[in-house]
Structure 1
């Protein structure tokens, strides 16, 4: 009888504690974690990257932001919208496909402005909408070069800096496709799978250097990702996917990401159907395969 009472008490306490954790471990943790930090965001001109910058500027005004993407004009528009001055913002155009100097010159500009980097958010990338048989080698190569090699090269450039500081945080925005290969996204999924392998290894190798790695796996988020995706010929898809259009609002997605980063989580599942499809794949793969067969052209 006594053990039953103790068990019941612990169960109720656990439920209350978990509820309190999810309800109250929100904004305060984000602001505290990012306070006075230098955060470099790639792919900041649109989508999730843009929302991450907006959320950080709102929640943690002391954070210094490095905004990178190919479209410099959009980055300046964002900096002006957020009313960021030069003491708290550096607009730094960056194309992950161009890796001639291993991004050392870009890294040097950040250090020259702010003296250090605390968090690198690897968000930039490009998607795909084409069948394997219709996809040119050049498209496969570009997807791997941008999504995987570009991200890895930039991260390795920052890695030595983190080692010297004996701290740092890599945030890698991959996709639910990092776990699940689906139709029309073969090389995109491959590039995201590769990121999981690389950064899981990095986390293990550099735990002794106090370097954190958070892998973010979005499901459907309402961004322009499908419109900017490669078709098999290399042309841009230029269409909004129906499921993407119904996806999670990017501002909510960005907030959930920042909360997970502040809690130093190893993996974060965000966005419409993100966690659902990952758990289905993990626990009932045959059932999930049949579900995918019925929707393979979506």
Structure 2
């Protein structure tokens, strides 16, 4: 065998907040996990053969935001995360990866689409008046892309290709309401709303017992924010609560460009911080826990989905159960809780959903050997950009926080390729990582200013990510020049992964 083309899949039509979690899982079983399982078998064969080509039919929904197709958009973004990660890991071999990204095509794809309900099909056929490419034309263009071993090929009738370019490469032009504001994160720190502007708001943080979640909680407490702290480790949550109660914040008055700081107490009482133990993957308890928040505070203003784990593993070695465990924690748990919150926010007519993603969710490079994590974070961007596009005319805000490497215990707790295993290696002082405190504070600034997306990291990650996202040909050349272990070393100074070439 020389080429594997993964083409099976189904689309979706549904409102974001109505989709049942079972539908998400069915979508990912077909459109993602089935593709991964077969591709890993093929990849092992291609490594022995020392050549091969893996092709995946993705969609323009994997490149841009598509409303009313949340699960499908998330799945296609996940495909891009996984297979961009594969290309990065195998760049020094003769294994090629091609992502085919068609727009609307005349086929029975629409009638077979998932809806919000398990077992249900959309049922409506395409119309002759629809603006779609013929299947014959699309197939011919796909064949050309495969023959030329393109990394990625977009095929659609106008105006979808120009729109996709605008969304991908000129996000500030794409829409006033959907603009990416990561360029201005530092500017907002100096000239935007201070964290204290959230004083009195009720913010629920999952994954709050350590790391970024802990630092974010303290940063928000300094601004007088009322908090719900959730994680599995109750003793650690109580320690975080005490740190929040003991915190003070700098009051800021702005006269033109002059900042006057004064130390003021945050005035939080014990009742202003609720400890709410939870396991994010216990989906069936989410509604009950949400109601406990409302019962305690009477309202919720902001939900911060922060719980999650990373990964270190070779792409082809990952057991499919690890992918599913990763997605249960990093994606489906986030979706389950967020949908409950969105329905509440829609009734309240205001609210803010925040998700801790990663720079890995922006570009698979320069972060190799984390394929399941990369796929999960790409999926998060697909899902929550879709949510933002559906709620453009409402008062529901969506913020994606994208930190780079941070000094936490995240690395030691990472998934590997094997079920139930942890990576176990701690971060080192020599690692190029941002402090948890600095990251937590920048996250708080992004939330206070309701940024769509915020990147926060030390050099050289931000310019590298800009290069890979906005100048992909230059990024690809640099990637092949330096190799995957170079990028791994600048992230994890004490970690080396075997790059398999045969």
TM-score, scaled relative to structure 2? 0.52
* Structure 2 residue 460 is matched with structure 1 residue 278: no
**Are 2:278 and 1:94 equivalent residues in the alignment?**
yes
Query: Could you say what secondary structure the match of 2:227 adopts?
Result: strand
In structure 2, relative to structure 1, the CA distance for the partners of 1:99 and 1:296 (3 Å cut) is same
Q: CA deviation at 1:160?
A: 0.7
Give the secondary-structure state (helix, strand or coil) at the position aligned to 1:100.
helix
Question: How far, CA to CA, are the matches of 2:243 and 2:450 in structure 1?
Answer: 29
Higher mean displacement: 110-119 or 244-253: 244-253
Pairwise CA distance, 1:76: 1.1
Q: Distance in 2 between matches of 1:105 and 1:292?
A: 48
Does structure 1 retain, via aligned residues, the 8 Å contact 2:399–2:452?
Answer: yes
The equivalent residue for 1:70 is: 232
Distance change >3 Å, CA 243–CA 293, structure 1 → 2: farther
Q: Give the number of the structure whose residues are more often helix, by fraction.
A: 1
Tell me which residue corresponds to 1:293: 484
Compare 227-236 and 45-54 and name the one that shifted more. Answer: 227-236
Shift of 1:294: 4.6
Which residue pairs with 1:35 in the alignment?
Answer: 199
Shift of 1:56: 1.2
2:434 to 234, 244, 248: 248
Q: CA deviation at 1:45?
A: 0.5
Q: After superposition, where does 1:208-227 map in structure 2 within 5 Å? A: 208-227=393-412
Aligned alpha-carbon RMSD (Å): 2.1
Q: Distance in 1 between matches of 2:189 and 2:421?
A: 44
Query: Which residue number in structure 2 is paired with residue 184 of structure 1?
Result: 369
Unaligned 5+ runs, structure 1: 1-17
Q: Report how many aligned residue pairs link the two structures.
A: 275
* SS of corresponding position for 1:212: strand
Partners of 2:202 and 2:483 lie apart in 1 by 41
Aligned-partner Cα distance in 1 for 2:432–2:199: 34
Q: Give the greater-gyration-radius structure (CA).
A: 2
Structure 1 window deviating more from structure 2 (166-175 vs 92-101): it is: 92-101
Q: CA deviation at 1:289?
A: 2.4
- Of 181, 184, 200, the residue aligned with 2:385 is 200
Equivalents in 1 of 2:308, 2:239: separation in Å? 21
**Whole-angstrom CA distance in 2 between matches of 1:180 and 1:130:** 18
Mark the CA change 1:112 to 1:292 in structure 2 (over 3 Å): closer, same or farther: farther
